[in-house]
Amino acid sequence: PYAWTDQDTGLTGNNPRVYVERSANQTRRVHLLYDDGATSYSRYSDDNGDSFSSATSIGAGTNPCGVFLPNGSQCLYRLDGTTIKGIVRDKALNVYESSFTATTSVDATTRFAVDWCPVVGNSQVILLLYVDGGNVKYKTATTGVNFGSATSIEAGGYPEVVCGPDRVFNLYWLTG
């Protein structure tokens, strides 16, 4: 059986996304990404959402999303016009890869998604799923910074991506 509670954090913003770290030490830190105005922010909680850290800016843009890697790195992305931009932070929130462009020509009125899957050894593949010209596309990277060429899937919107327990990306989107 599962149980949950609803809690008003008192935080305000738009386009929230919640992530739970899948870390080796199972700390289960909860991350909250959201935008407020034209800036995207991140916060975290070490007590299952009872309280959150102060907001830390991800940068100009909306619809933030991210991946939280086992080594503590955070690849955080946001939509800035028609460009997905990102930063990479270490566990202590120090930026070690400042604002970079993950991809351009993204439909400005839709959301995008990102997730990671572990691969052989201590590396990972990061998949960025987005909409460009009404078509769902994806790109991959190993560092979260230098993404390869786009692969087009089909017409659609509102993409989501999840790495399953079998270490395979599951891609979802709406059509019609």
**DSSP letters of 128-162?**
EEEEETTEEEEEEESSSSS----EEEEE-EEEEEE
Element (H, E) at 54: none
Q: What tokens appear for 50 in the block? A: 């009872």
39: helix, coil or strand?
strand
- Nearest-CA neighbor of 47 among 30, 32, 67, 69? 30
The pLDDT of residue 133 is: 93
The pLDDT of residue 111 is: 86
The C-alpha atoms of residue 70 and residue 38 are separated, in whole angstroms, by 30
The C-alpha atoms of residue 156 and residue 73 are separated, in whole angstroms, by 31
The pLDDT of residue 165 is: 85
The pLDDT of residue 72 is: 84
Instruction: Give the angle subtended at the CA of 123 by the CAs of 121 and 128, to the nearest 5°.
Output: 145
Q: In what order do the strands lie in the sheet with 30-36?
A: 14-20, 30-36, 39-45, 56-60
The pLDDT of residue 21 is: 81
Longest dimension (CA), the chain: 45
Give pTM, 2 decimals: 0.90
The pLDDT of residue 47 is: 86
Q: Identify residue 87 by its one-letter amino acid code.
A: I
4: helix, coil or strand?
coil
Would you say 145 and 97 are in contact if contact means Cβ atoms under 8 Å apart?
yes
The whole-number mean pLDDT for each consecutive block of 10 residues of the chain, a chain of 176 residues, reads 75 90 70 94 89 94 92 92 95 90 88 89 88 95 93 94 90 89
Would you say 117 and 169 are in contact if contact means Cβ atoms under 8 Å apart?
yes
> CA distances (Å), 66 to each of 2, 115, 128, 144, in order?
26, 7, 10, 10
The pLDDT of residue 134 is: 93
